[in-house]
C-alpha cells in the first residue's frame, strides 16, 4: 500500500515521505511547520500525475512541476520532483538501473493522488 507519512526531524522540524509498504520511495526537505509538509503532499497529489519527466542524463529539460532523472557521481540514478518555482520538493534513493528510477516516477504518478496520510 502506498501512503504519505509526516515524520519528526531534528530541531522540531517535519518531513514528508512517500512509502510503498514500509519502503521510503521519496522524501522531502525539512519544514518548520507540519502544515508545510501537508502542503507539500497536497501539491504532489495534484501535480505529480501529469508532470513531465526530464532525463538530465540526456540533457532533457522541463518547466513547471516536473520529475527529473539525475545521474549521480557514482553512476547511479535518482529522482527529484521539482516545483514550478524550481525548488526540489522530493528526492529518492539512488538506483543502479535507470529503469528503477523511472519505475519510481510512474509509481508516484499513479499512486500519490489516492494515497492516505499517516501523521
The contacts found for 99-107 with CB under 8 angstroms, 24 or more apart, are: 101/69, 101/77, 102/53, 102/69, 104/25, 104/26, 104/79, 105/53, 105/67, 105/69, 105/79, 107/2, 107/20, 107/25
* Percent of the chain whose pLDDT exceeds 90: 97
pLDDT for position 66? 98
* Rounded distance between C-alpha atoms, residue 97 and residue 105, angstroms: 13
CATH number of 2-118: 2.30.29.80
pLDDT in tens, 21-32: 989 999 999 999
Overall average pLDDT of the 48-73 stretch: 96
Overall average pLDDT of the 36-51 stretch: 97
pLDDT for position 42? 97
C-alpha distance across the termini of the chain, in Å: 16
pLDDT in tens, 72-115: 999 999 999 999 999 999 999 999 999 999 999 999 999 999 99
pLDDT for position 19? 97
pLDDT for position 4? 98
pLDDT band at 119 (very low <50, low <70, confident <90, very high): confident
* Percent of the chain whose pLDDT exceeds 70: 100
Amino acid at each position: 500500500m502506498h501512503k504519505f507519512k509526516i515524520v519528526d526531524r531534528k530541531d522540531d522540524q517535519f518531513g514528508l515521505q512517500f512509502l510503498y509498504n514500509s519502503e521510503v520511495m521519496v522524501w522531502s526537505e525539512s519544514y518548520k511547520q507540519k502544515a508545510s509538509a501537508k502542503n507539500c503532499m497536497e501539491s504532489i497529489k495534484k501535480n505529480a500525475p501529469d508532470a513531465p519527466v526530464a532525463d538530465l542524463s540526456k540533457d532533457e529539460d522541463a518547466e513547471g512541476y516536473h520529475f527529473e532523472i539525475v545521474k549521480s557521481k557514482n553512476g547511479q540514478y535518482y529522482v527529484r520532483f521539482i516545483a514550478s518555482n524550481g525548488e526540489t520538493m522530493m528526492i529518492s534513493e539512488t538506483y543502479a538501473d535507470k529503469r528503477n528510477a523511472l519505475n519510481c516516477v510512474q509509481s508516484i504518478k499513479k499512486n500519490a493522488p489516492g494515497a492516505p496520510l499517516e501523521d
